[in-house]
Structure 1
Amino acid sequence: MSNINLIIEERAASIGKFMVGRLLPFRQKRMVGPFIYIDHMGPVKLNERENFDVLPHPHIGLSTLTFLFEGSIMHRDTLGNAVEIKPGAVNWMTAGKGIVHSERTPEYLRHSDKTMHGLQIWVALPKELEQMNPEFYHIDANQIPEWKEGPLQFKLIAGSAFGRKSAVPVHSKLFMIEIKNSSRQSVNIGHELYGEAGLYILEGSIESDGNRYEPKQLLVAKESTLCEFIIEANSTIYIFGGEPFAEERFIDWNFVASDITLIEKAKQKWMAQEFDKIKGDEIEFVPYPNLNKK
């Protein structure tokens, strides 16, 4: 991008027994458009005695977007959904006024070697929808718009851009775009973007204004309409963002809201174990981590 305002490096963070690379929130940039939280999971190899197990935990005021590059996760929630997600598909869960979910290695893979690699993303809800009823949607890989422009391969994972619209039922004006390529190429897509924009390099590199940027970096643009750069051969990048909200968002553990009192109520409700239970995953849960405010 010809107007890079901030470079955010992945920072190691723990989600239970699993380490991730955290990109958002960042002290100098809490959100990019409505995107408030981004974790890069893996790549990590797990043996027959190791499994990915994120125990039941609650959310309010946001939508979660799970997108895998490798591996498989079984999602369960208090709406009764039990859905396996595989690479290229999207799990889109809107917490609204409250939901509990777990994410685990599927039973048929628990005693074999496996790999886990993907993105876990939170998108804040508009103020008027923060207390909506929770929802869950699974979007298969073949429902995600994809197209080619010369050596560039595009996917519109979520939102609207390029005159296209993803099947992911988002609640605000946003975009999440994958770009892959086979040869070095100039890219200029600023005219397709709006609001704020960030670019995450998964593999390969990009060049902007004579500077080279490599994996595990999130580049935040000063202005999304000036999104222009050179992408090196065999690279994979993700561009995401959209219209920012007028109100500040507060984040405490897994809770997001424009009103801190909503977070306090959810926190007390979870500590009292008054949220609904997940059918088939009722016993274990993640306790509220006292004084752990991001």
Structure 2
Amino acid sequence: MSNTKLIIEERAANIGNFLVGRLLPFRQKRMVGPFIFIDHMGPVKLNEKDNLDVNMHPHIGISTLTFLFEGAIVHRDSIGTEIEITPGAVNWMTAGKGVVHTERTPERLRNSTKRLHGLQIWVALPLNEEQCEPSFAHVSSEKIPSWENDGVQFKLIAGKAFGKQSPVPVYSSLFFIEIKSSEKKTITIGEHLFGESALYILDGSITSDGHTYESKKLLVAKDSTLCSFEIAANSTIYIFGGEPFKEERFIEWNFVASNKELIEQAKEDWKSNKFPSVPKETDRIPLPEQRRFGG
């Protein structure tokens, strides 16, 4: 694929009851545009004794984007939000100077078998918003721009592209696009993209310049404006990216910042219980001894 700069294989990471596939950050590519962290969560079948229970943990310097394909998660945070996210909707939490949240299986599902599958994404904040006040937005599935072109289904989950704008309140120039096709089609969309871009194959495959790429691979483009490929029948892909930041971003545990001192302060604040708490929650995830994400 002449426009492929890097091919990243999905890597397994354990988060309790099941494995997630880690895509970013990677040693050779820490960010794509403002996107700094992407996990493919599931698909997993949980029995009546297994539930998602991610206790209180903090973030700084990012917005988190949760997008589910199957299942449901109850989100609670230190801003006072309590909401259930279901497939097709977007939870967008902006940490700014600091937020704490939990993620749990809803009570109505805890004693039954259920499935969970989705993407969890971190988008770094621009320098002037790194220390903003935390906020939260939930955008229902019917408000996400969706359209069809030549039998191919498109969704603009976040950002701007194709002359459209998602209602998700982003802080920088970016795009996060879902493309589905039940038939083999040729797709040429480079004119609608900008900055850096990457393509994640969730299901199916794509072919470009005689090379076929299967599911669970992330392809980073050399030039987003040259994005053209053939999508196989019954395939689902995600294209994301945008304008990269001029300043480097550092990442340690759940903290992202352009200044390492901000991360060190956040670590001390979490250890000394200076972050705000989440209503109805008592259990906290302790600060790991040393944990940096990456390939």
TM-score over 0.5 for the pair: yes
SS at match of 2:76: strand
Matched, 1:289 2:277: no
- Find the counterpart in structure 2 of residue 47 from structure 1: 47
Count of aligned pairs between the two proteins:
293
1:291 shift after superposition: 1.3
Matched, 1:238 2:238: yes
Deviation per CA, 1:212-244, whole angstroms, max 9, x where unpaired?
101110000001000000000110000000000
- Find the counterpart in structure 1 of residue 72 from structure 2: 72
1:2 shift after superposition: 4.5
- Find the counterpart in structure 2 of residue 155 from structure 1: 155
Matched, 1:167 2:167: yes
- Find the counterpart in structure 2 of residue 100 from structure 1: 100
- Find the counterpart in structure 1 of residue 259 from structure 2: 259
Distance across 2 between alignment mates of 1:280 and 1:292: 28
SS at match of 2:157: strand
1:150 shift after superposition: 1.1
Normalization by structure 1: what TM-score? 0.98
SS at match of 2:220: strand
Identity of matched residues, %? 65
- Find the counterpart in structure 1 of residue 180 from structure 2: 180
Q: 1:6, 1:220 within 8 Å by CA — same for their partners in 2?
A: yes
Deviation per CA, 1:189-209, whole angstroms, max 9, x where unpaired?
000000000000000100011
For structure 1, which runs of at least 5 residues remain unmatched after alignment? none
Distance across 1 between alignment mates of 2:182 and 2:46: 30
Q: 1:47, 1:113 within 8 Å by CA — same for their partners in 2?
A: yes
Distance across 1 between alignment mates of 2:69 and 2:156: 15
Q: 2:17, 2:50 within 8 Å by CA — same for their partners in 1?
A: no
- Find the counterpart in structure 2 of residue 130 from structure 1: 130
Deviation per CA, 1:107-146, whole angstroms, max 9, x where unpaired?
1100000000000000000011000000000000000000
Q: 1:160, 1:175 within 8 Å by CA — same for their partners in 2?
A: yes
Matched, 1:200 2:205: no
Stretch deviating more after TM superposition (17-26 or 50-59) = 17-26
Q: 1:18, 1:52 within 8 Å by CA — same for their partners in 2?
A: no
Distance across 2 between alignment mates of 1:242 and 1:155: 16
For structure 2, which runs of at least 5 residues remain unmatched after alignment? none
Q: 2:179, 2:236 within 8 Å by CA — same for their partners in 1?
A: yes
The aligned amino acid for 1:61 is G
- Find the counterpart in structure 2 of residue 58 from structure 1: 58
Q: 2:66, 2:90 within 8 Å by CA — same for their partners in 1?
A: yes
1:18 shift after superposition: 3.5
Normalization by structure 2: what TM-score? 0.98
List structure 1 segments (4+ residues) > 3 angstroms apart after TM superposition. Answer: none
Deviation per CA, 1:160-189, whole angstroms, max 9, x where unpaired?
000000010000000000000121110000
Q: How does 1:101-120 map to 2 (within 5 A)?
A: 101-120=101-120
Q: 1:2, 1:227 within 8 Å by CA — same for their partners in 2?
A: no
The aligned amino acid for 1:288 is L
Deviation per CA, 1:13-52, whole angstroms, max 9, x where unpaired?
1224432000000000000000000000000000000001
1:274 shift after superposition: 1.3
The aligned amino acid for 1:69 is F
1:53 shift after superposition: 1.0
Q: 2:18, 2:44 within 8 Å by CA — same for their partners in 1?
A: no
Distance across 2 between alignment mates of 1:110 and 1:17: 14
- Find the counterpart in structure 1 of residue 210 from structure 2: 210
Q: 1:196, 1:221 within 8 Å by CA — same for their partners in 2?
A: yes
Distance across 2 between alignment mates of 1:17 and 1:170: 31
The aligned amino acid for 1:216 is K
SS at match of 1:158: strand
The aligned amino acid for 2:234 is N
Distance across 1 between alignment mates of 2:80 and 2:202: 33
SS at match of 1:264: helix
Stretch deviating more after TM superposition (244-253 or 2-11) = 2-11
